[in-house]
Amino acid sequence: MFDRLFSRAVEWRVDSARPAAAAEIAALHGASFARGWSADEIESLLSERAVVADVLRAAPGNAPLAGFSLSRVAADEAELLTIAVARRWRGKGGSRELLARHLARLAAAGAQRVFLEVDEDNAPARALYARFGFREVGRRAAYYAHADGRRGNALILAREPGAKVGGNGWGI
């Protein structure tokens, strides 16, 4: 508690992800989800022209990976395929910085509508997405496999053009 009250605020850096970061991203993905993606799968995604990917690091310097986001753009829509922040960095504002930058890049790539799936039990992620104007448009029963064998329902969320968040349409 003392550390949280008196620690210096983290300054974040968000950069475009490169295929060379695939192993680092795969390690964080594996630590964040019951079924992680391999470095080869990540590298393949990062090599796709339609994929927008970002990495989050604490500034300055070449800090270890704190988070990442990967989306695929098709016409005027995008799907947020995956996003994660390392456990030690959660609750420090990095997810907001990462998602804001990522949504701006998706908009620049022509995406007007963004979709994603989130485990309905993931309250912090749901709160983040709500803050950025995402709303539930559907659900998939027993979609996610949890490490303890349970199955979690997926909520399908969408962010429509013109969602009012943080002063402009993209929450940034």
Question: Could you say which of 129, 143, 144, 160 is catalytic?
Answer: 129
- Name residues whose C-beta falls within 8 Å of residue 34's C-beta, 6 or more positions apart in sequence: 144, 145, 146, 147
Amino acid at 56: L
Our answer to whether residue 144 is catalytic in this structure is no
Question: Could you say which of 43, 97, 117, 144 is catalytic?
Answer: 117
- Name residues whose C-beta falls within 8 Å of residue 1's C-beta, 6 or more positions apart in sequence: none
**Spatial separation of the C-alpha atoms in residues 67 and 90, rounded to whole Å:** 9
**Spatial separation of the C-alpha atoms in residues 136 and 33, rounded to whole Å:** 22
Q: Is the dihedral of CA 153, 93, 45, 169 positive or negative?
A: positive
- Name residues whose C-beta falls within 8 Å of residue 170's C-beta, 6 or more positions apart in sequence: 100, 103, 104, 107
The 3-state DSSP class for residue 147 equals coil
With residue 131 as reference, give the H or E element that holds it.
helix 123-131
Our answer to whether residue 129 is catalytic in this structure is yes
Query: Hey, which residues are catalytic here?
Result: 117, 129
